Structure 1
Amino acid sequence: MGFKVDHIKKEKKEVASLNLDSFLKKEITFGGNSFSNKKKEAFYTELFVLLQAGLELKDALDLIEKEQKKETDKKLIRSLVKNLIEGKNFSETIKEKKEFTTYEYYSIQIGEKTGTIENVVKELGGYYRKRNEQRRMIMSALSYPIIILSTAFLAVLFMLNFVVPMFADIFKQNNVELPWITQKIISLSNFFKDYYWIYLLVLLVVILFQKMNKNKLWYQKWITSFYLKIPFWGNFIRKIKIAQFTQAISLLISAKVPLLNGIQLTQKMIDFHPLKNALITVEKDVLLGKTLSESIRKHTIFDAKMVSLIKVAEETNQNQIIFERLTNQYNKDIEYQSKTLSTVLEPIIILILGIVVATILIAMYIPMFKLSTIIG
């Protein structure tokens, strides 16, 4: 049993009013609500086990609610049970809660209408498990470089604010002629001491600008285009988004959703503009009778490997298997690239830090040699 295309398009208007950040965005920006992705993984995994054991949905939620440690989580699940008692569907109760995404709502709604709710819940548990694994990989890749970069910034800040002014006073008292590089470093130090508030103001403006415009189309176009142009990082981000797309399609196909409807639903959870824009075009092409492999071939965001495997899936009618295979391959690529990213960033940051510190020290010590000659 599938959904009609017209029905899907009508429901797009309803979901637009929810004002929810999509799941994918929460993964790249590492944000989220109190019911985190880690909790969702445990929630859907436990719910699947209980449903498979023969419990009714209400009873399963009651047991899960008793296991929660935080009162906010207990209250959330208790409200789900209350809505079920009032006669609402599980998908309707999910839709009303800001803790759950549009993607979860549609997935569970599909499970209810096709009689595959257990399978959908199981796949959602796996979905969030992979998202959490992906998040851990990225955090592991970036945590050490960020610590090094922060330490480097504080070290340079300390030198400009304390060390350089101390040397500058010594040179001034002894009328030492300063070389060009020393003059520039001292000027930079003085500028920072006098106008440090400008840096803070610029930082505040950037943060506010990002928060005010993050949901606007023009900003999403610009920021995603900027990300993709960054060497190595752009390809890394692209693979993350493609992996999320293939995993979503795999989940929907396993719930007996037609491929076209799966593409339409996946658009709702994607805010990565190049991919979202490509899927809109793909949907139009498929409606005109083109195959999926033909439709995605003309979009550069999809690589040749993906096009070839999807063509095989269409010829052998094994869409779910192929999309699962693609997801696994992309996740392995992401894991490898995250390790490579960490390995590459660390020496680069250390090298830059060394050059900056060495430049400041050389700029300070050249006049000191002159000063020692004068005193001698």
Structure 2
Amino acid sequence: MPIFVYRGRSRTGRVVAGRMEANTPEAVVAGLRQQRIFPISIKPQPKSIEFKIPGFGGRVKEKDLAVFTRQLATMIDAGLPLVQCLETLASQQPNRQLKKTLTEIRVNVEGGSTFAAALKRHPTVFNPLYANMVEAGEAGGLLDTILNRLAVYIEKAMNLRRKVKGAMIYPSTIVTVAIAVVIFLLTFVIPVFEGFFEGSGVPLPLPTQIVMAVSRFVRRYLLAGLSLVITGIVGIRFSYKTEKGRRAIDGLFLRTPIFGSLLRKVAVARFTRTLGTLIASGVPILDGLDITAKTAGNKVVEEAIIETRGNIAEGKTIADPLRASGVFPPMVVQMISVGEQTGALDSMLEKIAEFYDAEVDQAVANLTALIEPILIVFLGVVVGGMIVAMYLPIFKLVTVIGR
């Protein structure tokens, strides 16, 4: 929707200026008359030329959003008008994308839009969870409380995501380095020994023959293997963009022996915290489940939540369809059932989330402790075995020369 810059005169005769988002200049005139402002001039806002560098300033980080949310809650709690809060926070915002978004939201609010409706026009920055909680806060007159709750939610979700990334990045980095070292040895080091052994005429032991055969295989098919790996990764990425592919891959992740348990705990913590925060903020449970499904992060969990929402719409409890899905642990389902019966579902969901946050911490620590010795043994056996295999003919050669 285009933005118009206007100048007008208020009832007291004071000249005012501002911006308004509207489809046509006539709509701007109508909006100004509702505010009892007589328009003097209305012009389309000039389009600014922006140079975007990929990876810089084009995305709003969770940390920036959490800081903005907490600052806005503090300012509203202090009694400042919403438009003034948005203007102040936009002026001091270092993130260009968020600065631009806040400016547009302020223009919408000045034009008569609600804060929640203005947020919903920017779904890439403010997701449905954020907008719906703000809408519930505006309706209940508890906007500052809801914003504080949102800030806490974003910070905890950010910490949870950081833990998962740490759990995934560390082992994948170590494994990648280990594989790179082995490939380097097979490609560049072993051939040097191979040339030396061929000129010596010494019969090679079986371990040395195996290592040299593997080296020749790697050198011959290395590029083909790398191409196959890259093609597989690209194929998986494209497949993940389809409904069927995403369901299959997410289901496979949940069934993985080591990482599956961690991912399931993360999914439970995210589901319970999101739904508990929405219910505590006054969002209806059906809307809350719909939003929670969209932010689940796993297709299998998302479908289980959507099925649960459909059963609740038919008058059933939330615990029964969750139990039937087989995705959520029995303890979680039992605690949710108790929360429903006692009328304290939001607080019970929060307790489950806190418990599984601690479980994720423990799982990450256990995973790190398990992977380190496995990698040490792997490198010791593979690299050490290769070195021993290469030195066996040398020992044999020394023995022959000594005789």
For the criterion TM > 0.5, the same-fold answer is yes
Relative to structure 1, the CA distance from residue 70 to residue 314 in structure 2 (aligned partners, 3 Å threshold; closer, same or farther) is closer
| 1:232-289 deviations in Å (ceiling 9; x for gaps) | 3101101111111111111111121232332223222234122112122222322332
> What corresponds to 2:90 in structure 1?
65
Q: Which moved more, 1:315-324 or 1:133-142?
A: 133-142
Alpha-carbon distance in structure 1 between the residues aligned to 2:295 and 2:174: 34
Higher relative contact order (CA 8 A, sep 6+): 1
Q: Secondary structure at the match of 1:87?
A: coil
| 1:273 partner amino acid | K
The answer to whether the Cα contact below 8 Å between 1:145 and 1:345 also exists between their aligned partners in 2 is yes
| 1:189-241 deviations in Å (ceiling 9; x for gaps) | 22333332223322322332233232211111111121122113101101111
Aligned counterpart in structure 2 of residue 208 of structure 1, from 226, 234, 241: 234
Aligned counterpart in structure 2 of residue 344 of structure 1, from 355, 361, 370: 370
> What corresponds to 1:52 in structure 2?
77
> What corresponds to 2:153 in structure 1?
127
Q: Which moved more, 1:144-153 or 1:250-259?
A: 144-153
Aligned counterpart in structure 1 of residue 184 of structure 2, from 158, 162, 165: 158
Relative to structure 1, the CA distance from residue 90 to residue 178 in structure 2 (aligned partners, 3 Å threshold; closer, same or farther) is farther
Q: What displacement does 1:104 show? A: 2.4
Alpha-carbon distance in structure 2 between the residues aligned to 1:94 and 1:199: 48
The answer to whether the Cα contact below 8 Å between 2:58 and 2:97 also exists between their aligned partners in 1 is no
> What corresponds to 2:113 in structure 1?
88
Relative to structure 1, the CA distance from residue 214 to residue 92 in structure 2 (aligned partners, 3 Å threshold; closer, same or farther) is farther
Q: What displacement does 1:346 show? A: 1.2
Aligned counterpart in structure 1 of residue 379 of structure 2, from 339, 348, 353: 353
Q: Secondary structure at the match of 1:301?
A: coil
Matched, 1:330 2:356: yes
Q: Secondary structure at the match of 2:325?
A: coil
Q: What displacement does 1:168 show? A: 0.5
> What corresponds to 1:258 in structure 2?
284
The answer to whether the Cα contact below 8 Å between 2:190 and 2:212 also exists between their aligned partners in 1 is yes
Alpha-carbon distance in structure 2 between the residues aligned to 1:168 and 1:252: 66
| 2:343 partner amino acid | N
Q: Which moved more, 1:141-150 or 1:211-220?
A: 141-150
Relative to structure 1, the CA distance from residue 372 to residue 239 in structure 2 (aligned partners, 3 Å threshold; closer, same or farther) is same
* Larger proportion of helix: 1
Cα root mean square deviation, aligned: 2.2
- The sequence identity of aligned pairs, in percent, is 28
> What corresponds to 2:300 in structure 1?
274
Q: What displacement does 1:80 show? A: 2.4
The answer to whether the Cα contact below 8 Å between 1:267 and 1:280 also exists between their aligned partners in 2 is yes
Unpaired runs of 5+ residues, structure 1, are: 1-31
Q: Which moved more, 1:214-223 or 1:240-249?
A: 214-223
| 1:259 partner amino acid | I
The answer to whether the Cα contact below 8 Å between 2:73 and 2:147 also exists between their aligned partners in 1 is yes
Alpha-carbon distance in structure 2 between the residues aligned to 1:150 and 1:275: 30
Q: Which moved more, 1:143-152 or 1:277-286?
A: 143-152
Runs of 4+ in structure 1 deviating by more than 4 angstroms, as ranges, are none
* Larger proportion of strand: 2
The answer to whether the Cα contact below 8 Å between 1:35 and 1:99 also exists between their aligned partners in 2 is yes
Unpaired runs of 5+ residues, structure 2, are: 1-56
Relative to structure 1, the CA distance from residue 268 to residue 60 in structure 2 (aligned partners, 3 Å threshold; closer, same or farther) is same
Alpha-carbon distance in structure 1 between the residues aligned to 2:351 and 2:79: 31
The answer to whether the Cα contact below 8 Å between 2:129 and 2:278 also exists between their aligned partners in 1 is no
The answer to whether the Cα contact below 8 Å between 2:132 and 2:283 also exists between their aligned partners in 1 is no
- Give aligned pairs, total: 345
> What corresponds to 1:301 in structure 2?
327
Alpha-carbon distance in structure 2 between the residues aligned to 1:190 and 1:50: 68
Relative to structure 1, the CA distance from residue 70 to residue 288 in structure 2 (aligned partners, 3 Å threshold; closer, same or farther) is closer
| 2:76 partner amino acid | L
Alignment of 1:1-376 (within 5 A): 34-97=59-122, 98-376=124-402
